[in-house]
Amino acid sequence: MTMAGMTQAATPPAKADNASTDPYAWLEDIDGAKQLDWAKQHNAETVQKYAQSAQFKQLDASILEVLDSRDRIPAVSLLGDKLENFWRDKEHPRGLWRRTTLAEYRKNQPAWETLIDLDALAKAENENWVWHGSSCLRPQERLCLVFLSRGGADANVVREFDVVTRQFVKGGFELPEAKSNVTWKDADHLYVATDFGAGSMTTSGYPRIVKEWKRGTPLASAVTVYEGKNDDMSISAHRDNTPGFERDFVHRQIAFYNSETFFRGKDGKLTKIDVPNDADTDVEREWMLITPRSDWSVGGKQYKAGSLLAAKFDDFMAGKRDITVLFEPSDTTALDGYSWTRHHLILNVMDNVVNKLEVLTPQAGAWKREGLGGAPALSTISASALDTDHSDEYLLTVSGFTQPTTLYYGSVDKGQPEAIKHSPSFFDASKFEVSQHFVTSKDGTRVPYFQIAPKNLKLDGTNPTLQYGYGGFEISLQPAYSGTIGRAWLDRGGVYVIANIRGGGEYGPRWHNAALKANRLRAYEDFAAVSEDLIKRKVTSPAHLGAMGGSNGGLLMGNMLTLYPQLYGAVVSQVALLDMQRYTHLSAGASWIAEYGDPDKPEEWKWIQTFSPYTNAKAGQKYPPVLFTTSTRDDRVGPVHARKMYAKMAGLGYDTSFYENIEGGHGGAADNKQSAFMKALEYTYLWEHVK
């Protein structure tokens, strides 16, 4: 569940548009006592109806067993000369930040050194801390900035921590709770973008000003590096501390797909990197990689949207345009990512939503290319470097819907990688088969989807089927193992479907752009086309077909509910956007105008209202039962959308349910126990209605 992962401000006062005539506008006061009592009352009703049975409690415990399993693969990244991991289990529900050596990590039962016990810290400080990560000063990575969230909100408290003494640094850098972007410049200086007071935040609720802050001085004395405009999304700065290639950059995020990056010289002068505003840039040692989101003409040549381009950074800044094409998309392929090792670039490409890896080695002209590993059919494979400064070592993961994740360790030019970790099996995958299908959407576009179903599936239209989708922000849905889905849905005889609809990134920028703003309905037409194909193929029927999605996918669910109610037996909408007339005035909504449009502009509201579920819900329809789940501490989308949509649907007499987790943030849950409960509630609700 994501909205491209930014933080945001508290909800501003209701604007005098439809809020003045909206009977449910009073629910927009997120933390009001009356509003929280309302939420708790409806939570209790939902729990009484769906979370009291022995079957629910068994499912809850079964999912929690998956989430807390000590046999899961600990995800790691390099921290100095060791590997760090953040780990939650039954004994440590809030989690441990810990580290170990590579040699120890390769053992079945590594010995870990605890850096921070978040449960102990939360208890000592009487706080409901949720871990939001760390940022450590390269190359030694002894001093770290630790980010702690109250209850899972995106806003963080920042503290300096010493991993050698395993203590917070007395008198060290600290910032109060805010929507901050903080990075190291050197041991005695930070780049800080935060809430400096009145006028320092954008209309999206993010920092508008970035400053350089010196150790031992008050934050008020920090020196301004760059100021953005009020209607920018956010401003930030960082230093690349790669030894021998130390460089400083300032980033101005104007809108989601519109940004400027500046090189900051030693004299503080800013020089804009001359690439299109919709292009992403990444500088590593002598190289700059450029990914344009639209076709780019430069130096007498044309480069396709979604390509990956390489240029020598210093040469480019000096005006040269010697650009090498590392990847160019086709009708079926898209860039899925890349990772630098010391001497190579590992390239990850999707072909019809299935991964393929290549190793590229810089050289004059076309870079040398070699394959790296191979993934089983209909699976996901990815590789990430361990130490970009010194080695060509990497970790490679392979996962599929019925294939538990395997972690490999390898080094480029040293043969095949070695399997070092295996995720446990949480359900009997031998009973199921995975297939990929394609369906023609309303406008003739070919849309892929994955189906995970029992072998020898009877095509009689009676199979309980759950269709999941997202369709936004160029985010792809790819094959991945889930013990939760296996236990909660597949093991009970259900069919699970992933719809790779437009708005996502499955075919790169063109797939995303096809469902932006006025074209948003294309995403919903694609999802409906997949549903209709499942019904046509007699995999299922409307009475047995459920749909679920979160965040932007929750908006998708709201539209399937209001635009295509005849296709579904039940819908679950998680942490969703739903009131598209008010969304820019609720939580971080203003930051997503580039995705959906601006409802305050009458000419744009004309088409935004066609996909505003809260606007379009009306009496006298045959809507399927619907469950809205959200979190009070979700300061990204916020609980307001779900509250109001539920209240309106209930007021119109429809079969609707609601649950608002008081903690959790945009992920919906602050720990594994809460997460298991939420998942068990959602799957129990679906089984109740589509079995």
Task: Please give the full DSSP string across 620-639, using - where no structure is assigned.
Answer: T--PPPEEEEEETT--SS-S
666 is catalytic: yes
Q: Quick one: DSSP state of residue 14?
A: P
Give the pLDDT confidence score for residue 16 in this predicted structure: 39
- Per the document, the length of the chain is 691
Kindly name the residue from 92, 238, 585, 666 that is annotated as catalytic: 666
Q: Which two tokens stand for residue 102?
A: 């590579």
Q: Which of 495, 429, 428 is nearest to 462 (CA)?
A: 495
Which 3-state string (H, E, C) describes 32-53? CHHHHHHHHHHHHHHHHHHCCC
Measured from the Cβ of residue 220, the count of other Cβ atoms closer than 10 Å reads: 9
Give strand pairing partners of 453: 433
Give the type of residue at 549: G
Beta strands 545-550 and 626-631, pairing class: unpaired
Contact (CB, 8 A) for 387 and 397: no
Give the type of residue at 62: S
Give the pLDDT confidence score for residue 19 in this predicted structure: 62
Give strand pairing partners of 294: none
**pLDDT tens column, 47-71:** 999 999 999 999 999 999 999 999 9
Q: Which long-range contacts (CB under 8 A, 24 or more apart) does 16-22 make?
A: 17/581, 17/582, 17/600, 18/581, 18/582, 19/582, 19/585, 22/582, 22/644
Q: Which two tokens stand for residue 213?
A: 């802050």
Give the whole-angstrom CA distance, residue 197 versus residue 137: 27
Contacts of residue 581, Cβ cutoff 8 Å, sequence gap at least 6:
17, 18, 599, 605, 608, 609, 612, 614, 615
Alpha-carbon 214 to chain mean position: 33
Classified by CATH at the fold level, domain 19-65+426-690 comes out as Rossmann fold (3.40.50)
| Alpha helices per DSSP H over 346-476 | none
Give the type of residue at 229: K
Give the pLDDT confidence score for residue 663 in this predicted structure: 82
Give the type of residue at 108: N
Give the whole-angstrom CA distance, residue 27 versus residue 310: 50
User: 537: buried, middle or exposed (CB in 10 Å: 19+, 13-18, 0-12)?
Assistant: middle
Contact (CB, 8 A) for 202 and 231: yes
Match 């023609």 to its residue by tokens.
440
Contacts of residue 319, Cβ cutoff 8 Å, sequence gap at least 6:
none
Contact (CB, 8 A) for 304 and 294: no
**In the chain, domain spans:** 19-65+426-690, 275-329, 330-423
Q: Which two tokens stand for residue 121?
A: 């810290």
Strand order of the β-sheet with 189-193 is: 181-186, 189-193, 209-214, 223-227
Residue 336 phi, psi (nearest 5): -110, -5
Kindly name the residue from 204, 551, 587, 657 that is annotated as catalytic: 551
Measured from the Cβ of residue 300, the count of other Cβ atoms closer than 10 Å reads: 6
Contact (CB, 8 A) for 389 and 347: no
Task: List the beta strands (DSSP E) in 164-233.
Answer: 167-168, 174-178, 181-186, 189-193, 209-214, 223-227
* Distance, first Cα to last Cα, the chain: 26
Give the whole-angstrom CA distance, residue 539 versus residue 466: 11
Give the pLDDT confidence score for residue 642 in this predicted structure: 98
Go through 385-410 and write b for each residue having 16 or more CB atoms within 10 A of its CB, e for each that does not.
bbebeeebbbbbbbbbbbbbbbbbbb
Give the whole-angstrom CA distance, residue 28 versus residue 22: 11
**pLDDT tens column, 276-297:** 999 999 999 999 999 999 999 9
Q: Which H/E stretch holds residue 283?
A: strand 280-284
> What residues in the chain have per-residue pLDDT under 50?
5-16
Contact (CB, 8 A) for 341 and 358: no
**pLDDT tens column, 353-380:** 999 999 999 998 899 999 986 667 788 9
CA of 393: how far to CAs of 109, 116, 243, 388, 440, in Å? 22, 27, 18, 9, 43
390 is catalytic: no
Give the whole-angstrom CA distance, residue 685 versus residue 49: 9
Give the pLDDT confidence score for residue 3 in this predicted structure: 57
Strand order of the β-sheet with 270-272 is: 234-240, 247-255, 258-264, 270-272
Give the pLDDT confidence score for residue 280 in this predicted structure: 96
Give the pLDDT confidence score for residue 8 in this predicted structure: 32
